[in-house]
Amino acid sequence: MAMDTLDEVVPAPLTHLSGDERLFRTTVREFAEENIAPLVHQMDEEQQLAKGLLPQLFNLGLMGIEIPAEYGGAGGRFFEACLAVEEISAVDPAVGVLVDVQNTLVINAILKWGNEEQKKRYLPDMATKMVGAYALSEASSGSDAFALQTRAELHGDHYVLNGQKLWITNAKEADLYIVFASVDLSAGYKGITAFLVERMAPGFSVGKKENKLGIRASSTCELILEDCRVPVENVLGEVGKGYKIAIETLNEGRIGIGAQMLGLAQGAWNHAARYAKERKQFGKPIAEFQGVQFQIAEMAIDIEAARLMVYNAARLKDAGHTFVREAAMAKYFASQTAERVASLAVEIYGGSGFVKDFPVEKYYRDAKIGKIYEGTSNMQLATIAKLMLAAVK
């Protein structure tokens, strides 16, 4: 069953989008289906992006969606970045997270906290050829992000960074890293500072690449800083205010992960629905059995609810409204939905769903990370509860 036919049967919520947004989404969808879909299995098996895919993403403007035109970017909005992540993730969530980290974390941080010199130096390249990575996590600081131990000491006109970062997305492809380090460990979170570290910086290296359960084409590596020299002009924002950058950027990034998980769920549903109409048992397609119909319906309901939550959070962000609670809800619910929908998709495929010759087992593997990175499900629940209870009088 062709994708356009499926869209006619179960249309995406076009009423939520303007004409320009629909056109943008359609363009990204067609690109993903034509250029990414044929490479998904190969990239998953080889655990790396296919050669030539990155330039295509840059050429289409998907790696610099919110970068203003004056710096060579598309001049789009955060909502459009989320649409791109959603549509790409429906085909391959591993490529989706590459686009997500680039746009919702790295570029957003530079746009908001970078000075004019830093924007002129990095944003034109990030719009056309430079991949970015966001380096906060360490062995001792996951959910407790501010327990980081990477140190930064001022030596004249530069800082010397020492430490190790773990689980850094885009690490292999990146040429620019936002690295969080403390200028004073005794000061706790008030010592944390963000640095723009270039790949060729003396004392900087990319270490082990992780062998992961899912999103295997997305590189996840350790970063090693051994007397890494970073010029003072590469401090992002203010010294000692890195914690503020981390908190606010991750709040935005959670909407992006919500979009990734939303796209994943939609992609798994698309495959399951088509298969249910094609697979025959007892003389008729399994889609005609009520038990399967109920599963298809419940999956679609959860996906629609997740979409509404993700879109709402993204639009609140673009409008300049408070969105922390909505971002946490969207990230939590979309990741729950992705895992549940992908699991049911495997069951609808039956034995075929359990083998790599068919697409849904990969969605199932890819879904698990949604509950973990950029804030675990428990951390989202804690945030939601805190904000909801604070509003009770």
How do residues 109-139 score in pLDDT, each as one tens digit? 999 999 999 999 999 999 999 999 999 999 9
Could you tell me if 207 and 248 lie in one domain?
no
Domain count, the chain: 3
Could you tell me if 189 and 144 lie in one domain?
yes
Q: Kindly state the tokens that stand for 177.
A: 């890293």
pLDDT for 1 equals 36
* pLDDT at residue 11 greater than cutoff 70: no
Confidence at 146, pLDDT banded by 50, 70, 90: confident
**Residue whose structure tokens are 């800082």:** 159
d(CA 19, CA 15): 10
Residue after which a domain boundary falls, among 218, 240, 262: 240
Could you tell me if 194 and 279 lie in one domain?
no
CB 256 within 8 A of CB 334: no
Q: Which pLDDT tens digit goes with each residue over 307-324?
A: 999 999 999 999 999 999
d(CA 21, CA 30): 14
Could you tell me if 369 and 319 lie in one domain?
yes
Residue after which a domain boundary falls, among 104, 131, 158: 131
Residue after which a domain boundary falls, among 240, 268, 294: 240
- 87, 138, 326, 374: the catalytic one is 374
Could you tell me if 52 and 152 lie in one domain?
no
Host domain of residue 291: 244-390
Q: What is the mean pLDDT of residues 160-166?
A: 98
Could you tell me if 370 and 275 lie in one domain?
yes
* pLDDT at residue 19 greater than cutoff 50: yes
Could you tell me if 34 and 159 lie in one domain?
no
* pLDDT at residue 261 greater than cutoff 90: yes
Confidence at 16, pLDDT banded by 50, 70, 90: confident
Could you tell me if 274 and 378 lie in one domain?
yes
pLDDT for 17 equals 87
Known active-site residue 374: yes
Could you tell me if 227 and 264 lie in one domain?
no
Could you tell me if 261 and 233 lie in one domain?
no
CB 106 within 8 A of CB 155: no
Could you tell me if 255 and 325 lie in one domain?
yes
CB 329 within 8 A of CB 313: yes
Could you tell me if 205 and 289 lie in one domain?
no
